[in-house]
């Protein structure tokens, strides 16, 4: 499992040696961790990493429902899906993702908080982290590169750039 740590703000650069050179800093200083998940293997690895590395922290699992994905979730052949039906399906999918996350957390002997937000994923994650006063974000990377990264963007990269706290990107 590849892990990259990013320190996006000047606030977190006050003790750069401790941040980059010692996992002790993360274990002692991190009280609350935000883990955005979407049901992908990468986000599942991010959750497992957070549970392993921050066992004493309060861990919140966030699923972001992206309204822009409604157009992609409903193929034209199947006919258009109403907004309410699409949202209900997205909420049901989030609950399934949360059930799997709770099971993973219970295997580590940890209870997690879960929440769902609606919006553009990277922006919603960073705003939620800032409003919630989280100490750390652990996010999975989808590993896109080249043209697909340019066309589709990278939620993890945008979170690293905009986050109000340190971010760990798990591959």
CB of 10 within 8 A of CB of 38? Answer: no
The percentage of residues in the chain with a pLDDT greater than 90, rounded to a whole number, is: 59
The 8-class DSSP code of residue 69 comes to G
Question: For 87, phi and psi rounded to 5 degrees?
Answer: -65, -40
Q: Rounded distance, CA 41 to CA 73, Å?
A: 19
Q: Which residue has the higher pLDDT, 61 or 84?
A: 61
Is residue 64's pLDDT more than 90? yes
Sign of CA dihedral 147, 45, 115, 34: negative
Q: Which residue has the higher pLDDT, 27 or 38?
A: 38
Q: Determine the straight-line distance between the first and last CA of the chain, rounded to whole angstroms.
A: 6
pLDDT, mean of residues 63-83: 68
Q: Which of the four pLDDT bands, split at 50, 70 and 90, describes residue 154?
A: confident
Sign of CA dihedral 53, 155, 124, 20: positive
């Amino acid at each position: 499992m590849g892990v990259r740590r990013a320190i996006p703000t000047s606030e977190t650069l006050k003790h750069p040696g401790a941040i980059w050179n010692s996992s002790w800093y993360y274990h002692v200083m991190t009280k609350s961790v935000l883990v955005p998940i979407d049901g992908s293997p990468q986000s599942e690895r991010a959750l497992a990493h957070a549970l392993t590395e921050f066992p004493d922290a309060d861990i919140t699992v966030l699923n972001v429902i992206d309204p822009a994905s409604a157009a992609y979730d409903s193929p034209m052949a199947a006919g258009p899906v109403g907004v309410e039906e699409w949202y209900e399906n997205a909420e049901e999918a989030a609950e399934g993702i949360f059930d799997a996350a709770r099971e993973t957390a219970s295997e580590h002997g940890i209870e997690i908080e879960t929440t769902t937000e609606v919006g553009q994923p990277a922006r919603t994650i960073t705003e939620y982290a800032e409003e919630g006063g989280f100490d750390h974000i652990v996010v999975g990377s989808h590993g896109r590169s080249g043209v697909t990264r340019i066309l589709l963007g990278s939620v993890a990269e945008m979170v690293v750039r905009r986050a109000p706290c340190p971010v760990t990107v798990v591959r």
